[in-house]
Amino acid sequence: MGEEMIYKILTHLEAMNERLHSLENDISGIRDSQVRLETEVTAVRSGQGNLDKDIAAVKASQLKLENNLTAKVEVLFDGWQQHEDYAVRNTSQLDRLEAKLDNLAITTARMHAIQDHHTELLNILTTRSVNNETEILALKRAK
């Protein structure tokens, strides 16, 4: 019975040794996985740091763009306002010039009417003058 017991104990120890070896392999695999995870976490943290830097750069760029854009929009608005004022002034001047042109047209029409009337009077006077000269000549001949 002693040998059989020793054999059972040895068999049992060998089985335990195999399980222990298997556990050691599993633990080694877990350690390798943990190292890979730690490496990946380090890479993620590094990437996160880069993202944080990029976000800060984007925010700074956005702020700079907003400042530049605000100044440019203000300049454009001022230019538009000046153009609008210029257009209002031009419209006012155009209205005054049109009124003057209308007055000149009315005055010219009146002058044409007066000139036409004077032309008629001159024609009448010319006709009368010719008639009077003819009568004077006839009277001189008759004498």
Indicate if the alpha-carbon torsion angle 43, 46, 52, 55 is positive or negative: negative
φ and ψ at residue 52, rounded to 5 degrees: -60, -40
pLDDT tens-digit series, residues 54-97? 999 999 999 999 999 999 999 999 999 999 999 999 999 999 99
- Tell me the Ramachandran region of residue 85: left when phi exceeds 0, alpha when psi lies from -120 to 50, beta otherwise: alpha
For residue 143, the model assigns a pLDDT of 75
pLDDT at 2: 86
pLDDT at position 40 is 96
Global pTM? Answer: 0.43
Give residue limits of the domains in the chain: 1-101
